[in-house]
Homo-oligomer: A and B are copies of this chain.
Amino acid sequence: MKTAFIFVIQVYLLVLVQCVGNQFQFHPYVKFLKIHNSKKSYASQDLKVEDLIVYKGSQHGKKEADKILRLPGQPKGPKFNQYSGYVTVDPKHGKALFYYFVESTHASSRKPLVLWLNGGPGCSSVGGGLMMELGPFRVNKDGKTLSNNMYAWNKVANILFLESPAGVGFSYSNTTSDYKTTGDKITAKDSYTFLINWLERFPEYKTRNFYLTGESYSGHYIPQLAEFILKSNKNANRTLINLKGIVIGNAFMDDETQQTGTHDFFWSRSITSDEIHKGIVTNCDFSWNATLSKLCKTYINQEYDLVGNIDPYDIYAPLCLNRTSSEKSEFDPCSLEYIESYLNLPEVQKSLHANLTGLPGRWQDCNGELFANWKDQPFTVLPTIRRLMASGIRVWLYSGDTDSSVPVTTTMYAIKKLNTTVKTPWHPWYLKGEVGGYVVGYENLTFVTVRGAGHFVPSYQPARAIALFSSFLRGKFPEVINLMDHFYEIVVIRKINKEKGDWKHEQEP
């Protein structure tokens, strides 16, 4: 019962986090108290050799078929190649994962390959990461046309967005019972299977430096997938996938710190009262195998009543009310509504090579069925993170500091639990003369905050997000950044273009 309760709270927070504008209200206990929790493990289960065996299918001719000529409503702008389509990961089940891939605007052959994963569990990387956060386009208010995203991450890398697991976005399984039995482990395996097959389809990327990134519940997905990749390489005794690092934003990694971090965040941001917070701190034990007291639950319910109707992904952002967006902030809080309209247009799905089989229902950003039936979620992935830190790959965490769903406090507490050593003390980093956030370097781990950013960091603070991502790719702390200079590869290209008399990209960041 106790674990169910914890699961329920955290599950609420996650779906809420990833499903902006969905039907869930900002009260955790109304809808989820009856969810059965089958989570049994403390940490992610060890992978055995037989777990590493994955399906490989022929990819002949599929890359060309996946090429997107032009998306409906696409504006003029920088040129780059786009592809999207399905990769079968389990032919017996009829299970296929949908991806969208965009090559870098400049010198893509010299740029790394980066996989982006949204969280949930059950939420779409096409609706979230691609269309709302860091992709090359944003959907306009009309729900039919696109604008260029000045701070798209494909300015500095080739970005692959994956809808994972089956049931998310356009990804599907013909064995619909899969939707009731999915969990972390199968997600990692299917994502890995996708990657191996995708690299067959795009062989020029096979040896490319490869990075994993994403946010929220991908705090589970990414460490597990990274470990799958490293173990497969080790098992094969060669580099099947050239994984160099991971970077996760507002990462959900540990049930205990998710709880303590969230309650402390609400209190420390002057949102809940001293009395309620004291009640939680005094009466709640969120550690593994502890039992939550009735009094604890009462205080937590009171806390959520106190918080009121604010955007949990950014406590200072305007809400999307009555489908009329506020003009107050740079990021339109109704964005996901425009995206949902756009991705449900038949001509858009056609040009994306999506929904070829006539999926039931409309495209949705998050799949509540998957979420409610999630079968395998360890209490913590921190042991996995610790192993990745020891493996020598680059491990970064970042955190938008106005997010209440997986708040900065949660990440800080999780890092404390890792019991690592500070190597470079906490200090501000700068972008265009302003503090972009703060950064602290640990032994084999870097943590960066993004000032004034909510959960969806590239949405709320696009310039700071790409500065941070670009720093990660370089393997150097963000320090004093002039965005123009920072995109060093663009600068190189610009020089080349200048010699050719071609200045068309001069105005880009």
B430 contacts A273, C-beta separation under 8 Å: no
| A: contact size bracket | 35 or more
A321 contacts B270, C-beta separation under 8 Å: no
Q: Mark A300-325, 1 if CB is under 8 A from B, else 0.
A: 00000111111000011011010000
B440 contacts A273, C-beta separation under 8 Å: yes
Q: Which residues on B sit within 8 Å (CB–CB) of A184?
A: none
Known A309-B434, A321-B434, A433-B309; judge A270-B316 contact (CB<8 A).
Answer: no
Known A309-B433, A310-B435; judge A451-B276 contact (CB<8 A).
Answer: no
Known A269-B269, A273-B426, A275-B425; judge A435-B309 contact (CB<8 A).
Answer: yes
CA distance A452 to B454 in the complex (A): 13
The residue that A276 contacts in the complex, of B316, B401, B426, with Cβ under 8 A, is B426
> Is A253 part of the contact surface with B, judged by Cβ < 8 Å?
no
Q: Mark A435-452, 1 if CB is under 8 A from B, else 0.
A: 100101000000001011
A435 contacts B270, C-beta separation under 8 Å: no
**Shortest distance between the CB of A450 and any CB in chain B (Å):** 10
**Shortest distance between the CB of A454 and any CB in chain B (Å):** 11
Output the nearest chain B residue to A321 by Cβ-Cβ distance. B433
Q: Which of A271-296 contact B (CB under 8 A)?
A: 271-276
Q: Which residues on B sit within 8 Å (CB–CB) of A307?
A: 428, 435
Q: Mark A390-427, 1 if CB is under 8 A from B, else 0.
A: 00000000010110000011001000000000100111
Q: Which residues on B sit within 8 Å (CB–CB) of A269?
A: 268-269, 401
B270 contacts A408, C-beta separation under 8 Å: yes
Q: Which residues on B sit within 8 Å (CB–CB) of A318?
A: 434
Q: Which residues on B sit within 8 Å (CB–CB) of A306?
A: 426-428, 438
> Is A328 part of the contact surface with B, judged by Cβ < 8 Å?
yes
**Shortest distance between the CB of A157 and any CB in chain B (Å):** 25
Q: Which residues on B sit within 8 Å (CB–CB) of A399?
A: 270
Output the nearest chain B residue to A307 by Cβ-Cβ distance. B428
> Is A142 part of the contact surface with B, judged by Cβ < 8 Å?
no
CA distance A288 to B357 in the complex (A): 75
Output the nearest chain B residue to A308 by Cβ-Cβ distance. B428
Q: Which residues on B sit within 8 Å (CB–CB) of A274?
A: 412
> Is A330 part of the contact surface with B, judged by Cβ < 8 Å?
yes
Q: Which residues on B sit within 8 Å (CB–CB) of A273?
A: 425-426, 438, 440
Output the nearest chain B residue to A399 by Cβ-Cβ distance. B270
CA distance A61 to B440 in the complex (A): 66
CA distance A427 to B318 in the complex (A): 19
Output the nearest chain B residue to A440 by Cβ-Cβ distance. B273
CA distance A428 to B305 in the complex (A): 9
**Shortest distance between the CB of A249 and any CB in chain B (Å):** 14
B308 contacts A270, C-beta separation under 8 Å: no
Q: Which residues on B sit within 8 Å (CB–CB) of A435?
A: 307-310
Q: Which residues on B sit within 8 Å (CB–CB) of A440?
A: 273
Known A321-B433, A434-B309; judge A451-B316 contact (CB<8 A).
Answer: yes
**Shortest distance between the CB of A460 and any CB in chain B (Å):** 10
| Nearest 6 interchain pairs by C-beta | A308-B428, A273-B426, A268-B268, A316-B452, A308-B435, A270-B408
Pull 14 A–B residue pairs with CB atoms less than 8 Å apart, ordered by A.
Answer: A268-B269, A271-B438, A273-B440, A275-B425, A306-B427, A306-B428, A306-B438, A308-B435, A309-B428, A309-B435, A310-B428, A315-B452, A316-B452, A329-B329
- A270-B438, A319-B433 are known; give 16 further A-B pairs, CB within 8 A: A268-B269, A270-B399, A270-B401, A270-B412, A271-B438, A273-B438, A306-B426, A306-B428, A308-B430, A309-B428, A310-B428, A315-B451, A316-B452, A319-B434, A321-B434, A329-B329
